[in-house]
A and B are shown apart, each in its own frame.
Chain A
Amino acid sequence: MSSILRAVAVYTVLLVIFRVAGKRTLHDMTTFDLVLVLIISEAVQAALVDTDNSMANAFLLVVTLVGIDILLSVLKYRFPSFGQVLDGRPVVLVRDGRMVEHVASKERVNQEDILSAARCLHGIEHLEEIKHAVLEAGGKISIIPRESAR
Chain B
Amino acid sequence: MARARPVTALDLEQDAGAVRRTWRFERIGWGVIAVAIIGGLAGAFGDGPLSSASVVSADRRVGVQFERVVRYNAPSTLEVRLAPDRVGDTIVTVSLDTAYVRAVEVVRVAPEPVRVRASPDRVEYHLLRPDPARPMTITFAIQAGTPGRHRVRLGTTSGTVEFDQLVLP
Contacts and interface: CB of A to CB of B under 8 A. Distances in A.
Contact of A20 (B14, B15, B18, B33): B33
* Main DSSP-derived SS at the B contact region: helix
Interface of A: 16-17, 19-22, 50-51, 84, 88-92, 95, 103, 106, 131-132, 134, 144
* Main DSSP-derived SS at the A contact region: mixed
A88 B15 CA distance: 11
A51 B73 CA distance: 10
Contacts of A106: 23
Given A84-B18, A92-B14, A22 B33 contact: no
Interface in B58-112: 73
A17 B26 CA distance: 9
Contacts of B73: 50-51
Interface residues on B, range: 10 to 19
A11 to B, nearest CB: 15
A89 B22 contact: yes
Please list the 8 inter-chain residue pairs (A to B) with the smallest Cβ-Cβ separation, ordered nearest first: A20-B29, A106-B23, A132-B10, A20-B26, A22-B26, A92-B7, A91-B19, A88-B22
Given A92-B7, A92-B14, A144-B10, A16 B22 contact: no
Contacts of A144: 10
Contact of A92 (B12, B18, B22, B29): B12
